[in-house]
Amino acid sequence: MSKLCASAPATLMLLGEHAVLHGYHALTCAVNRRIQISLTPRQDSNITIYSARLGEFKTSIDSIKMKEPFKFVTRAIENLKPEFNIGFDLEIEADFSHQLGLGSSAAVSVAIVAVLNRWLKDKELDKRELFLQTRQLVKSVQGLGSGADVAASIYGGTILYCMEPLLIEKLSYNPPITAVYSGSKKPTVEVVRWLEEERQKNPERVNSIFKQIDSACDLAKLAINQADWTTLGRILNENQNYMQALGLSNSMLNNLNQQIRCYSAILGSKISGSGLGDCLIAIGELNAEQFPQDVTQAQLGVQQLKLAISQEGVHYASS
Give the residue-averaged pLDDT of 119-148. 95
Per-residue model confidence as pLDDT tens digits over 262-310: 999 999 999 999 999 899 999 999 999 999 999 999 999 999 999 999 9
pLDDT at 185: 86
What average pLDDT is seen over the chain?
A: 95
CB 92 within 8 A of CB 35: yes
Assess whether pLDDT exceeds 90 at residue 18.
yes
Confidence at 1, pLDDT banded by 50, 70, 90: low
Closest CA to 8 of 36, 28, 31, 27: 36
The pLDDT assigned to 175 comes to: 98
CA distance 76 to 135: 11
pLDDT for the residue numbered 217: 98
Torsion of CA 95, 101, 104, 110, to 10 degrees: -120
Could you tell me what percent of the chain has a pLDDT over 70?
Answer: 100
- Supply the pLDDT for residue 24: 97
Q: Over 80: is that where the pLDDT of 157 sits?
A: yes
Q: What single-letter amino acid sits at 35?
A: I
Widest distance between CA atoms in the chain: 60
Q: What is the pLDDT of residue 99?
A: 84
Domains of the chain, earliest start first: 4-172 (3.30.230.10), 177-305 (3.30.70.890)
Share of the chain above pLDDT 90, in %: 91
Which is more confidently placed, 319 or 318?
Answer: 318
pTM of the model: 0.95
